[in-house]
Amino acid sequence: VTRPRRERREAATHCPYCALQCGMVVTGPDARDPDARGSDRADLGSEQVSAVREASVRPREFPTNRGGLCQKGWTSATLLNTPARLTTPLVRRHRDEPLRPASWAQALDLVAERLRGIQAAHGADAVAVFGGGGLTNEKAYLLGKFARVALGTAQIDYNGRFCMSSAAAAGTRAFGLDRGLPFPVTDLDTADAVLLAGANVAETMPPFTQHLRHAADAGGLIVVDPRRTPTAELAALHLRPAPGTDLALALGLLHVAVAEGYLAEDYLAERTTGFTSAWQVAANWWPERTERVTGVAAADQRRAVRLLAEAGSAYLLTGRGTEQHASGADTVSGWINLALALGLPGRVGSGFGCLTGQGNGQGGREHGQKADQLPGYRRIDDPAARAHVSSVWGVPAESLPGPGRSAVELLDALGQPNGPRALLVFGSNVLVSAPHAGRVADRLAALDLLVVADFVLSDTAATADVVLPVTQWAEEDGTLTNLEGRVLLRQRAITPPEGARSDLDVLHGLATRLGQPAERFPTDPETVFTELRRASAGGPADYSGVTYQRLRAGEALHWPVPEADHPGTPRMFLDRFAHADGRARFVAVDHRGPAERPDADYPLLATTGRVLQHYQSGAQTRLVPELVEAAPEAHVEVHPDTAARAGLVDGDLAVVASRRGQTEARVRCVASIRPDVVFLPFHFPAAQRANLLTNPALDPTSRMPEFKVCAVRLTPASAP
């Protein structure tokens, strides 16, 4: 290939994937070069166009990654030039027709006309919107505004509901406010003890493990996970509770903490309320009972508590493994109760936090794409919040809809009587990522209109009536908020290909066609962010003092940042918690077990998670050849004895079936997994979707579905 000469430009930015938001430098064609799109160049063949757009990444120093990247980050530039890239809208009039190219005007006109017709016939709530935790703050904000103002629908939620809604609910009720980590990641560097409940960071965010090194070297790293994960391999103590019994374990550890005299009594008296009622439950969870229910030996329970209580600096962190349950909020409350009993939260050198998963999992839930929230992390049913946000939006407060359905309930209502007839999806691949995926497919098929904005034909986009090709991470500016509440600027490093538009442009195009004034839906990210700052002002997640200028200058701004000269709030709750009385709340919670139990037909428990090479639904990472080569297909981890009983050996193709569906996966025999448990990664499409199995039973507090435990059986796949 002859490489046309182009100016190269470097942009300091962040990884497109997880919430660690590792710092990286992207080098690509100068975005100011009018020929940099490549695809406008009629004189170039397709390989030369690729050469024009060729980009590369390298890590840079940033506190979360300190010059490290995982395999996903190192290979992320491949996404910018993927041959699967969409550069023209696709449309079909009937589902049995193929998608055909259309102009942007044709596609947006069609969508607006169909939305108007559906709402005229069935009401405003007949149109629903589904967002994503990977969208920038600006997109999440404008999407929420678009739903409530341009569509007037209450029916908006997003895939962050699947991610850490239970931890957010538990954090809010304990501390009065939820910020994943209320302290910088680097505070962990000197911790003597860290308990990780349901987090496999060595695979999901490998550079994070450097922050655990001190605790690991000190013999104070404790991992709670039913599997012997690479993270558990680093730990001094690995507790392996049966899936769905984490809350029983947390109650048992609280019992031990009290029984062995580790209760932080002065801290309890000065900074908390509600211990007595929480203790009334935990008093019944003596170590031997906890061992019977969880499978964690009483001696290991005592050792875990001693490691935490006797450490000079100790932290307790949760992840999806302990949160994605029908009792998820209560389970996290159980862990928070333990942390409070030991006096950890709200002190320098110790604490409680939740490890956010998605790239903008934190910011994504603060700016209004969640069914029950308005920008600034405000409740949508709070009259003062409605008055403030509506004044920023220039609409009457009474015109704003109230809370809508949560993600699983929204997806389940699609195409059903009184449910939405149309769905707009931004930044999400629900056909792979939502629980009970077979039912989701049925519901999408029942819609009158499915519109998906994505940069490739994701599994969900492939079933849509209209697909809108959008820009991706390094092709546009935008802010994200990482797992420690730090607001980051992802900078444009490469010009998007001709034909792709920003999601902000899409929302502008649809809103104006629906009769909204053009200036109400800006397309410039910084202009949107300026409005977001005003909308968040005075709210719990106050971004008023954050500006692109300060972010470009490299300031470390952790929200809240209420003034232009405010330094940000890296550590929260040091003086008081966010409840009116300044005290944290113990919450009395008790173990109730998973929503679904094994029986003779489905004798095993399945749990799901991530592998090193893939991210979420795999819609991005399955486009990267190096990652696909390393992890090409779904596998199922099985104890060798369990496999043998099912007539399977390592490498066989198995069918895993639950009460909702079945999936195929390659058997991987692992002696360290519990014999009653199998594990499947959830990144793979079509017949390999782990979420064909999973249980959509919901946590009553947060509406989190129970991804992490369902009853299954294992059989050999039929011979090829």
Positions in the binding site for ligand SF4 (CB under 6 A): 15, 17-18, 20-22, 65, 69-70, 72-73, 205-207
Closer to ligand SF4 by CB, 234 or 268: give it.
234
- If you search the block for the tokens 């209560």, which residue do you land on? 330
- CA dist., res. 287 & res. 548, Å (int): 53
Closer to ligand SF4 by CB, 177 or 205: give it.
205
- CA dist., res. 344 & res. 331, Å (int): 18
Other CB atoms within 10 Å distance of the CB of residue 659: 15
- Cβ of residue 492: shortest distance to ligand SF4, in angstroms? 18
By C-alpha distance, which of 567, 560, 563, 713 is closest to 642? 713
- CA dist., res. 252 & res. 254, Å (int): 5
Closer to ligand SF4 by CB, 17 or 275: give it.
17
β pairing state of 422-426 and 449-454: parallel
Note the helical H segments in 75-149.
Answer: 104-122, 137-145
- If you search the block for the tokens 């890296």, which residue do you land on? 570
- Paired residues of 456 in beta bridges: 85
- Cβ of residue 499: shortest distance to ligand SF4, in angstroms? 27
At 408, phi and psi to the nearest 5? -65, -40
- Cβ of residue 207: shortest distance to ligand SF4, in angstroms? 5
Q: How many residues are present in the chain?
A: 720
E-strand ranges in 545-610 read: 557-558, 584-585, 604-609
- CA dist., res. 70 & res. 205, Å (int): 7
Closer to ligand SF4 by CB, 22 or 648: give it.
22
- Cβ of residue 18: shortest distance to ligand SF4, in angstroms? 3
Other CB atoms within 10 Å distance of the CB of residue 32: 9
Closer to ligand SF4 by CB, 206 or 435: give it.
206
- Cβ of residue 53: shortest distance to ligand SF4, in angstroms? 21
Closer to ligand SF4 by CB, 70 or 247: give it.
70
In the bound state, the residue with its beta carbon closest to ligand SF4 is 73
- Cβ of residue 703: shortest distance to ligand SF4, in angstroms? 26
Closer to ligand SF4 by CB, 72 or 520: give it.
72
- Cβ of residue 245: shortest distance to ligand SF4, in angstroms? 29
- Cβ of residue 156: shortest distance to ligand SF4, in angstroms? 27
Closer to ligand SF4 by CB, 21 or 472: give it.
21
CA distances from 280 to 49, 250, 396, 576 (A): 68, 14, 48, 26
- Cβ of residue 432: shortest distance to ligand SF4, in angstroms? 18
- CA dist., res. 529 & res. 506, Å (int): 17
Closer to ligand SF4 by CB, 206 or 343: give it.
206
Peptide bond into 560 cis (omega under 30): yes
- CA dist., res. 113 & res. 97, Å (int): 20
